[in-house]
Amino acid sequence: MPLLISRNDITKMRVDAIVNAANVQLLAGGGVCGAIFRAAGHLKLQEACNKLAPIKTGEAVITPGFDAPAKYIIHTAGPIYQSGNELQEKLLSDCYYNSLKLAKEHHLSSIAFPLISAGIYGYPPHEVLRIASQVIREFIGSDENNDMDVHLIVLDQAAFKTSQQLFDDVRNYLDDNFVEPVDRRFPSLGAICGIAPKFHSKNIVCEDSCTAIDDVFSRLEDNFNTLLLKFIRIKGMTNAEVYKNANVDRKLFSKIISHPDYTPSKNTILALSISLKLNLDDTNTFLKSAGYTLSRSFKSDLIIEYYIKHPKKNYNIDDLNYILFNYKQVQLGQKVS
């Protein structure tokens, strides 16, 4: 789960580091900054910050987390938004990059960011979300061994302004296609074999069952692992490109590749489908090889189906995850407990 959009209280997150949208003097402020100081213990955190202040806009420094659940607090000073100022995007990018770099230097495995400069500094939230996602994705993708989990905390709908038309299209698709789930029994072995059972009991017996099962086996298609390797070869992608673009952890991907009989979750398979830029038919084949299917009784499946049929920005998994997040669905690449 390299990148996950969350709606959480950053001061309560149990990660290695949380990021404070600080001012250059590293003084306790309002909003998220004030909340972080209160969670860590105002006097202790201010004393630590005084030793590091002042910092430049775009720079990042690190202190202990003190009383906060996070082990560390990374402080970075974002730019004050001014329309038409071309330098401010570079400075905002530096905030995210330098914070990630500092986390990597301290061998941290998880970090949570707010939308820096999106509060009283006036930076449009949807622009911050775009810049942050881009920097995080590029940073994670630049190092094959980088397994850092990154949480991006989004507090309101304003961050999704640029995707409103896409949200509207998805909403209409859900209205037209969503089917309320019903209780269905699993098909019997006889139904699978296409043969009526001799009698009804807990132990179903099929006539010529061995022949029927042999016939089923003879028609088995490629398993998931074989299909995955085929698709990677056909698309001309490296393994690193596949799991990074899929928002999938490197260790999990290695397990998938190395163990032909291992079947990952449906969520992971769909993430890999987006990374491989599979069309809907190939996605369905991919899912079927692992015993899954897209269902019109699950909103997440319909959202993903719509996105695959109408890919935006060349199958960008972050765009798709923004939509899933907006509809309170599990994001692709998210670890499911």
Residue 288 burial by Cβ neighbours in a 10 Å radius (0-12, 13-18, 19+)? middle
Residue 145 has pLDDT above 90, yes or no: no
Q: Residue ranges per domain, the chain?
A: 3-155, 162-181+222-337, 186-220
According to the model, what pLDDT value does residue 180 have? 72
Confidence class for position 119, pLDDT limits 50, 70, 90: confident
Amino acid at 209: S
Question: Which whole number is the average pLDDT over 283-305?
Answer: 94
Confidence class for position 211, pLDDT limits 50, 70, 90: low
Amino acid at 161: K
CA torsion, points 230, 231, 233, 237, in degrees to nearest 10? -150
For 237-277, the pLDDT digits (tens) are: 999 999 989 999 888 999 999 998 899 999 999 999 999 99
Residue that wins the pLDDT comparison between 221 and 143? 143
Confidence class for position 164, pLDDT limits 50, 70, 90: low
According to the model, what pLDDT value does residue 290 have? 93
Let me know the angle formed at the C-alpha of 253 by 94 and 6, rounded to the nearest 5 degrees.
45
The CATH number assigned to the domain with range 3-155 reads: 3.40.220.10
Question: In the chain, pLDDT over 90 holds for what percent of residues?
Answer: 59
For 219-245, the pLDDT digits (tens) are: 446 789 999 999 999 999 999 999 989
Mean pLDDT, all residues of the chain: 85
Residue that wins the pLDDT comparison between 25 and 222? 25
According to the model, what pLDDT value does residue 21 have? 96
Helix, strand, coil percentages in the chain from 3-state DSSP, rounded to 5: 50, 10, 40
SS3 (DSSP) at 64: strand
